[in-house]
Amino acid sequence: MPDAKNLPPKAPPTSPLYHGDVRAIAKWEFLCYQDTQKDKNMETFADRVTLLQTESARIKQYLHTLPPDAWDRPSACTQWQVRDVVAHLVGVAEVYADFVARGIQGDHSPPPGWLPAGMGSAMAGAERTAQHSIAERERLGDQVLAAYDAADDQLNRLLAGLSPQDRAKPCYLSGGLVPAQHFIDLRLKELAVHEWDIRSRLAGVYGDEGL
């Protein structure tokens, strides 16, 4: 069984969060960001970077142990197979890296086709990210895992390398501008939710160790 720390934050059993509802997930993600504002002084920047690196490495190791047939099995996200969930994490890592890289250069304008920060909603932004992720999965084919490794490593390097001055610089997010360093927290919560989406469905097939 998983440690409690490896599960997503508590939600009602019937919450659409656990059924691939992109709008619900997006709303949850932005609320999670707001929660980090309350606790931002509880841990140092280095602590959070180390946690992200540790969790990323653990999840990456798990994904590399999956047999080929596991990638075509359904996840807890409605209509998404395991490979779709991983492709989504690729897309999110790429989008986050773009937001942060532009933000620390003083550019927190929306990407082409996106509404200005705060003018739309986090839900609309997540829908756009989901569409991008599906397109990525189709484009990547059997290279989804390799793309995940590369995108995850790139984002982690970018976040770990933020200077003290850059950490507070505002970056684009569809629900509103956020400091660059808070993408660490957003990425951690993305990993927690979507790891559960995968493990919760594979455990019954590959044994409890899958969890």
Residue extents of the structural domains in the chain: 20-210
**Predicted confidence (pLDDT) at residue 107 exceeds the cutoff of 70:** yes
Q: How far apart are CA 25 and CA 36, in angstroms?
A: 17
pLDDT digits (tens, 9 = 90+) for 58-79: 999 999 999 999 999 999 987 7
The token pair that represents 64 in the structure block: 């590399």
- The token pair that represents 176 in the structure block: 């509103």
Instruction: Using the CB atoms, write b or e for 151-185: b if 16+ within 10 Å.
Output: bbeebbebbeebeeebeebebbbbbbebbbbbbbb
| Measured torsion, CA atoms of residues 161, 112, 173, 181, in degrees rounded to the nearest 10 | 10
Angle, in degrees to the nearest 10, between helices 22-39 and 183-206: 130
**Residues 133-145: pLDDT tens digits?**
677 778 888 899 9
Q: Please state which architecture CATH assigns to domain 20-210.
A: Up-down Bundle (1.20)
**Long-range contacts, 134-140 (Cβ 8 Å, 24+):** 134/84, 134/87, 134/88, 136/87, 136/90, 136/91, 136/94, 137/83, 137/84, 137/87, 140/87, 140/90
pLDDT at 204 over 80: no
> pTM score, two decimals?
0.77
